[in-house]
Structure 1
Amino acid sequence: MFKKFLIAIAGFVLVVLLLGAVKAKQIADMSAISHTPPPSAVATIPAQTAHWHASLNSIGTLAPVQGVTLAADADGTIIRILADSGTAVKAGDILIELDTTVEAAQLAAAQARADLSRINYERAKDLFDRNATSKSEYDVADATLKQSVAEVAALTATIAKKQVRAPFDGRVGIRLVNVGQYIARGQPMLPLQKLDSVYVNFSIPQRQLPAIAIGQEVGILVDAFPDRRFAATVTAINAEVDAATRNIAVQATMANPGEVLRAGMFARVEVQMTDAEPQVVVPATAISYASYGNSVFVVEKMKDEAGKEYLGVRQQFVKLGAARGDLVAVSGGLKAGEQVVTSGVFKLRNGAAVQVNNTVQPTSSATPTPSNT
């Protein structure tokens, strides 16, 4: 009985030793497996050198070269509106007429008095030349004639004020009055603007004043025509700097064929500088944005702890500059020709192993033209 017990104990110990040996082998095999993550597949492109003209960006507002809101110069009732909203008019065209019935009657009476005064003056002059009347009577006749002529001129001017005429060639806006409406002096009636050319009013910081001059080229972009770039020329620079903002006002003039642009439009202004400076540029997709600093990943050969060479990435912090289309200018240590990662940046860290696959590349053009699909 005791012998059977010893055999059972020996068998149990043998089984435990056998299981321990198997487990030890499994642990050894797992330890031999490398736990290094596989290289990340990335796309790369060499950093390039570009000679970009420096530009100064600002926002502005379009304004008419000539533009007014015509107002009444006298009280009265509107009897005719000769210019519909949106029509083109010439300088001197009558746009609105007010009732002049009373003034016309007064003018007829004044003209009759002026005619009588002229007859009396000529008679008095003839008598005075023949010494048949006194100098005082001649002076009275002369003064009466001048007074009558002045009265006629005053009434004629009053009637003319009740005919609102276009002061220049332009286009009428939406009228603010109607026929039969009584208006007071100074009341706005209709806008008139000349739109064959327009001003672009914008401002720049005072430190940029040496970089801008009369005759300099300005690029204009408006939201109404996002695919069209308009050209303007700087024509005026304000004589003083705004004490509140420390900005200086600048005015550029641009042609407006077809009157496609309208006063009051918002505009993005790009002032082209004269000198082009070489800059290192990379695609915008190569930038890893972070609150502690922006960076790019440069692909280069590295060595691990065992001295084995592999292809890895070095995180290079950069300072961002101007942007042109898909490209961004950078500074801060990146050199032209270095291979930077353009796809898969978000999953990288400094020293990570990578595998380059440039089968598919993101766009990298300074003047991209995406299709409207």
Structure 2
Amino acid sequence: MLKKLFIGGLLIALAGLFAFRFLQHGNRETSTAGRVGHRFPRVEVALVERGRIEEAVSVVGSLRAKRQVDVMPKLSGRVMELRVDRGDRVMAGELLARLDDAELRQQVRRAEAALRVAEAARAQRQAELDNLLAELERYRSLHQAGVISSQELDQTRTQVAVARAQLHLAAAQVEQAKAELQELQIRREQTRITAPMTGVIGKRYVDPGALVNPNTPIVTILDLETMVSVIHVPERKLVQLEVGTPATVIVDAVPDVRFAGRVVRISPLLD
């Protein structure tokens, strides 16, 4: 009986040991398979720093010169000479065009002659006054000596006063002649149309021989030193912009060049 129990216990123990070994082997294979089959993903790390996140707004606009001037004549007349064309660079004060000044030249010559006549008349009046003043002094001496009467002395004084008035009138006529001559000289100078600023000729509107007036543009001068880009920004992006915001401008003609700029004005009106 004891032998049977011992054998039975031994069988149970062997069976248990076998089961334990089997389970241990299975766990080892499972653990090994788990270590071989599981691979961790590769993770790249970077140092976190505090900074400013910027969002760019890309828009399309038109480029134009910040300053441009339409050059117009100050007088009506015929264009006799036009010295510039589109693309020419000009300096401030440079002669651009010239109007016909033949009639004004004649008027200037007549005014110069009138001035000479007025100056001669003034000189004559001055000489007459000088003679009368000398005669008045002589008459005073004669009156004190009792040679002439007071009436004769008064007549001489009256003649002096009249001569002095005539001299003043002659002097005024000289000043008037000078003013007329100066005005004609200014008008003649205005037939020379000069550049009001340094820049590049952007447009040319007339040719030699054309009749122009003070409302007729001759050329347009552009100041290309500073350019302005006019852009239309969608309303949803407008909040990202403010005066002073830096901008980078790219021009189709030179796409590889970046021009630095900034926002200088934001219109309060919405399209």
Give the residue type in structure 1 aligned to 2:195.
A
Q: How does 1:56-67 map to 2 (within 5 A)?
A: 56-67=57-68
Aligned to 1:231: 260
CA, structure 1 residues 241+207, in 2 after alignment: closer, same or farther (shift >3 Å)?
farther
Aligned counterparts of 2:176 and 2:261: Cα–Cα separation in 1: 55
Shift of 1:51: 6.4
TM, length-normalised to structure 2: 0.61
Structure 1 gap segments, 5+ residues each: 1-45, 247-373
Deviations 1:27-62 (A, max 9, x none): xxxxxxxxxxxxxxxxxxx9x999641234444332
| Secondary structure class of the residue paired with 2:66 | strand
Shift of 1:82: 1.8
Are the aligned partners of 2:77 and 2:100 in contact in 1 as well (CA < 8 Å)? yes
Aligned counterparts of 2:262 and 2:124: Cα–Cα separation in 1: 67
Shift of 1:106: 0.6
Shift of 1:85: 3.1
Aligned to 1:95: 96
Q: How does 1:130-149 map to 2 (within 5 A)?
A: 131=133, 132=160, 133-149=162-178
Deviations 1:171-190 (A, max 9, x none): 12342222222223321222
Structure 2 gap segments, 5+ residues each: 1-43, 134-159
Aligned to 2:243: 213
Aligned to 1:104: 105
Shift of 1:192: 1.4
Indicate the structure whose relative CO is greater, using CA pairs within 8 Å and at least 6 residues apart.
2
**Structure 1 or 2: more helix by fraction:** 2
Shift of 1:227: 3.1
Aligned counterparts of 1:86 and 1:232: Cα–Cα separation in 2: 25
Give the residue type in structure 2 aligned to 1:138.
L
Shift of 1:211: 4.7
CA, structure 1 residues 186+122, in 2 after alignment: closer, same or farther (shift >3 Å)?
same
Shift of 1:77: 1.6
Are the aligned partners of 1:206 and 1:241 in contact in 2 as well (CA < 8 Å)? no
Does structure 1 residue 163 correspond to structure 2 residue 192?
yes
Return 115-124 or 101-110, whichever deviates more. Answer: 115-124
Q: Which is higher, the Rg of structure 1 or of structure 2?
A: 2
Shift of 1:128: 4.8
CA, structure 1 residues 227+153, in 2 after alignment: closer, same or farther (shift >3 Å)?
same
| Secondary structure class of the residue paired with 1:55 | coil
Are the aligned partners of 2:91 and 2:199 in contact in 1 as well (CA < 8 Å)? yes
CA, structure 1 residues 237+125, in 2 after alignment: closer, same or farther (shift >3 Å)?
farther
Are the aligned partners of 2:203 and 2:221 in contact in 1 as well (CA < 8 Å)? no
| Secondary structure class of the residue paired with 2:179 | helix
Are the aligned partners of 2:125 and 2:163 in contact in 1 as well (CA < 8 Å)? no
Give the residue type in structure 1 aligned to 2:268.
V
Aligned counterparts of 1:199 and 1:127: Cα–Cα separation in 2: 70
Shift of 1:151: 0.9
Aligned counterparts of 1:210 and 1:127: Cα–Cα separation in 2: 86
Aligned to 1:298: none
Aligned counterparts of 2:165 and 2:236: Cα–Cα separation in 1: 71
- Counterpart of 2:217 (choices 188, 193, 217) is 188
Aligned to 1:241: 268
Aligned counterparts of 1:142 and 1:93: Cα–Cα separation in 2: 39
Are the aligned partners of 1:74 and 1:186 in contact in 2 as well (CA < 8 Å)? no
Aligned counterparts of 1:117 and 1:210: Cα–Cα separation in 2: 74
TM, length-normalised to structure 1: 0.46
| Secondary structure class of the residue paired with 1:64 | strand
Aligned to 1:173: 202
Aligned counterparts of 1:61 and 1:146: Cα–Cα separation in 2: 56
Shift of 1:111: 1.2
